[in-house]
């Protein structure tokens, strides 16, 4: 179950999970499928995005179906606004597991 801020809870189906790499879930609303993919990838020191190296966290949302053109604008802003908190929480959990809060 996913509980968006100030919205009703929605059922989700976990489609896949690869430990320390990726997890993906999907929810269906009417004729639309909303798939969210969270991916972690190692970044070696010296890269442009993380000069000291670390873990790159990528979130992707794919909306498909007959009404996708309506749903994108309706949920896109909420999805994007929630990314900083989700990434911070994921980084916090990863730091607790590894012993280094980066």
pLDDT of the residue at 49: 76
**Where is 69: in which H helix or E strand?**
helix 68-98
pLDDT of the residue at 5: 67
Tens-place pLDDT, residues 59-101: 888 999 998 998 888 877 877 787 788 778 877 876 766 555 4
- Cα separation of the two ends of the chain: 28
Tens-place pLDDT, residues 13-49: 999 999 889 989 998 888 899 899 989 888 888 888 7
Kind of pairing, strands 22-29 and 32-43? antiparallel
pLDDT of the residue at 35: 92
pLDDT of the residue at 74: 82
pLDDT of the residue at 101: 47
User: Is the model's pLDDT at 6 over the cut of 70?
Assistant: no
């Amino acid at each position: 179950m996913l509980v968006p801020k100030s919205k009703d809870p929605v059922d989700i189906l976990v489609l896949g999970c690869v430990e320390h790499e990726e997890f993906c879930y999907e929810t269906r609303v009417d004729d639309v499928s909303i798939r969210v993919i969270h991916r972690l990838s190692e970044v070696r020191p010296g890269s442009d995005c993380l000069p000291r190296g670390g873990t790159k966290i990528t979130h992707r949302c794919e909306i498909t179906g007959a009404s996708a053109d309506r749903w994108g604008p309706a949920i896109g802003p909420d999805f994007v606004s929630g990314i900083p908190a989700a990434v911070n929480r994921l980084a916090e959990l990863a730091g607790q597991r590894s012993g280094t809060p980066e």
